[in-house]
Homo-oligomer: A and B are copies of this chain.
Amino acid sequence: MMTELIAAGAIAPLLNRLHREDALHFLSRLPEQSIDMLFTDPPYSSGGLHAATRAMSTSQKYINGGTKTKYEDFGSDNMDQRSWTFWCHAWLSEAYRALMPGGLVVCFIDWRQLPALTDVVQAAGFIHRGIAVWDKTMARSRPRRGGFKQQAEFIVWASKGAMRTNDVYLPGVFPCALKLPKKHLTEKPLELAREVVRLVPEGGIVCDPFAGSGTFLVAAKETGLHWVGCEANDVYYGVAAERLHCTDMPTEQAA
């Protein structure tokens, strides 16, 4: 209890702001046991099977054919699986430290990295609680000849120790198509994010260290929760900051 009060004070100057910063560095600045939920969508680093594909920039890798829209590259998306796993362990460990007991990690991932992520979440100390599904629905995914369309993304969720009880019951599958135009290459539906943040108790803090266009933080803000996050890419920082109506921040605050 004492620890939480101290943490509440220590995190106050960071709260309700978007930081223009690397995720790992940002998370290491969060006080212990200060946040209620880490809700994020990290780079998957899974676009290509081999190093040559990964060496392409993100927008090259995912956008091809006659697509008109071009997206800004996002960082940390060129690792091989070992490096990606190592890196995930690093930021998840910082997240573990920053979360309150009973706090939740809710993390989007694709089918290719799903097994590695569940390993790493548990290696960082969390209790793996399950896998929810975002069904992108037929409209928004490419058909697959001779097999199953890759129509779903997965939501790995885990807790720091025993779960705190509340009276929220969420479904395990969220069928929702993303409305165009997207603000980010890997944007997630706001309606889904609104559901997820309902798991956070009143007055709680939601953190997203890979804010992208800021959807998860927008959902937290709209729900009346505290929020804090970071985004290293200048363009996406601008997009998210505008959606969050927060003024531009320097790269790092003085302590």
Closest residue of B by beta carbon distance from A129: B147
Q: Is A131 on the interface with B (CB-CB < 8 A)?
A: yes
Mask for A130-142, Cβ within 8 A of B = 1, else 0?
1111010110010
Distance of A205 Cα from B119 Cα, bound (Å): 36
Chain B residues, CB < 8 A from A118: 114-115
B135 touches A133 (CB 8 A): yes
* Total interface residues in chain A, CB < 8 Å: 41
Q: Does A166 contact B (CB under 8 A)?
A: yes
Chain B CB within 10 A, most for which of A129, A147, A157, A171: A147
For A168, what are the chain B residues with a Cβ–Cβ distance below 8 Å? 145-146
Tell me if A170 counts as interface (CB < 8 A to partner B).
yes
Contacting residues, chain B, for A104 (C-beta < 8 A): 147
Q: Is the CB of A173 within 8 A of B135?
A: yes
Whether A150 pairs with B130 at a CB distance below 8 angstroms is yes
CB within 8 Å for A146 and B199 given contacts A151-B171, A173-B175: yes
What residues on B are CB-neighbors of A173 within 8 Å?
Answer: 133, 135, 137, 151-152, 173, 175
